[in-house]
Amino acid sequence: METFKKILATIFAILFIITAIAALIFFNFDRKAFTAETYQKGFAKADFYNQLPAIIAQAMASTTNEEQLPIVMRGMSTQAWDAFFRSLLPQDVLKEMGDDALNSTFSYLNMQTDSAELSLQPLKTSIVSESGAQAVFTLLKSLPDCTLRQIGQITIDLFSSSEIQFCNPPEDLYPLLTPIVQGQMQMAALAIPDQFTIVSAPPENDPRQKLQTARMLMRLSPLLPLGLLLLMTIIVVNSLKSWLEWWGFPFIITGGLVSLMGFSGAPVIGVIFQRILVNRMPAFLPAIILDYAGNLASAMVQALLNPILFQGIFLVVIGVVMVAGVYFAKTNNI
């Protein structure tokens, strides 16, 4: 009977080690994978913030009613909008807008809001400032120089409210054009929405419900190894020495394996995790972030390593203390 109990307890100890490692991964995944801070450094390396002008340009070209725009900005292509926003928005403003978009996205994923929004207020503020007019002139400088005929035609188009064929006017005309451009920028700021929706929850079959269920299971995952540990304790532990022994060695093995994963970067686990995330993320993420699903997965795996490493070391220390207690008890006949 005692032999059977030890065999059964050994099985539970092995299952504890396996499930404890999985639980640590899932529990930390839930803690780290759904906060914007986890991904900001990874996104900075992936040049995500520098892609915001292109994202805003696509939104402007596809959603804005051109009749609401000032004359000088009608008929602009996506590429023209992109160049305009790049000359208008400095890096610090782009990072501010990108961080706001990430925060809004993860608020949406965490079901704190029903939509993720990108605020365009920093853009509108820049448009009506002096840098707005300078951005227009920077855009014009990238075009071929105006001929005398084109300059005359631009003047006629401005007064007739016709679509303007842009070119690069002589710099001598800039002081004359500046008041006109500034007035047009004021109109543009009014035409641009305060924000645009990145993604919104569908009225039915919201995929976030499944995500929340999965997250709940991740939070509860430590209960399984704890249950196995309890069963092992009930079956085989009958003294302080046996308790220290049966708990100490599984703790050391679990902590050692987890620490090794955290210390080495767990390349195999990382690759598997990234593939799972890249395959699953499209069901939840907005379209503009899908191109960065690989970077999201990589950043999340990196964010897991530090807490897993320290938790593994903690388990090893606890296990070593317990095993040392066994030998201390044997030496002193306790």
Could you read off the pLDDT of 94-115 as tens digits, one per residue? Answer: 888 888 888 888 888 888 888 8
Per-residue pLDDT reduced to its tens digit, 121-132 = 888 888 888 777
What per-residue confidence (pLDDT) applies to 321? 92
Facing residues of 119 across strands? 195
Q: Beta strand pairing status for 195-200 and 115-119?
A: antiparallel
Of all residues in the chain, the percent with pLDDT exceeding 90 is 15
Most confident of 33-42, 184-193, 230-239, 278-287: 230-239
Whether residue 194 is predicted with pLDDT greater than 70 in this model: the reply is yes
Backbone φ, ψ for residue 65 (5° rounding): -75, 115
135-166 as b/e, with b when 16 or more CB fall inside 10 Å? bbbebbeeeeebeeebeebbeeeeeeeeebeb
Cβ atoms within 10 Å of 316's Cβ, excluding its own: 19
What per-residue confidence (pLDDT) applies to 133? 77
What per-residue confidence (pLDDT) applies to 143? 72
User: To which H or E segment does residue 95 belong?
Assistant: helix 91-109
User: To which H or E segment does residue 196 belong?
Assistant: strand 195-200
pLDDT band at 287 (very low <50, low <70, confident <90, very high): low
3-state secondary structure of 115: strand
Q: pTM of the predicted model, to two decimals?
A: 0.68
Tokens 């070119």 label which residue?
167
